[in-house]
Amino acid sequence: MNGQRVLKIIVDIAMTAALLLLMAFELVGRQAHEWIGIVMFVLFVIHHILNRKWTGHLLRGKYPPIRILQTLLAVLILICMMSSMVSGIVLSEYVFEPFQIRGGWSWAGILHMLAAYWGFLLMSLHVGIHWNMMLGIAGKAVGKSSGKDAARPKACGTWIIRLAGVLIAGYGIYAFGKRQIGMYLLLESEFVFFNFEELRIYFFIDYLAVMGLFIWIGHYAAKLIRKFS
């Protein structure tokens, strides 16, 4: 596997980790949250540079349903990322504090929360749509089995992965309700509530499960779209 593919995997893993830490906000501390946000934005830019061929072909070729969905998601994620960055700069108390940006805290707080939660779900769907491609890259990285007996363990592994996906998605539905994520998406609350008495690991497990739920939704939605289009 060439160096660029390895770099893509590293960047994508780093973005996933940064995204989860950003969702923790008060649990990691405001100053850390701001620096992680900067790292996330830099990784986002690197991700697009590494995938510049896809961007360069936006105005070329046909647009089947799956490509329309991929492009729409990419545009919405870009909007969320830029909204998070702009509102984050306005709200900054540490990284951009020397610039003394003042005013607009009310709208910036609302925009930042909306961009964060919608961006979290949209990025998870984006990963789900490209899940087969990511598994293919990972498969090349670890090497593939060969020989007459290769098909049996491969089929068994496929069913184990499918079962794991269903279990993660099922718990993700529970975690989605437990963490009241729908309330933040629909702006039924202007503030995010954190339980500072629980262990941090429980928070990350729940948000990983929610991420897994939307990756699962994105993966199977893409399969259905490709099948019927």
| Residue 148: per-residue pLDDT | 46
- The conformation of residue 57, written as its DSSP 8-state character, comes to T
| Residue 104: per-residue pLDDT | 66
| Residue 139: per-residue pLDDT | 56
**φ, ψ of residue 6 in degrees (nearest 5):** -60, -45
CB contact at 8 A, 85 and 41: yes
CA distance to 1, 4, 10, 143, per residue, from 136 (Å)? 11, 15, 15, 10
Report the domain count for the chain.
Answer: 1
- pTM passes above 0.95: no
Residue 4 has a CB neighbour count (10 Å cut-off) of 9
pLDDT truncated to tens, each residue of the chain (229 aa)?
567 778 888 998 999 999 999 999 989 999 999 999 999 999 999 998 998 888 888 888 899 999 999 999 999 999 999 999 999 998 998 998 877 666 667 889 999 999 999 999 999 999 999 887 666 655 555 455 444 444 455 667 678 888 999 999 999 999 999 999 999 999 998 888 898 999 999 999 999 999 999 999 999 999 999 988 8
CB contact at 8 A, 25 and 64: no
Range of the domain at 182: 3-228
Residue 93 has a CB neighbour count (10 Å cut-off) of 10
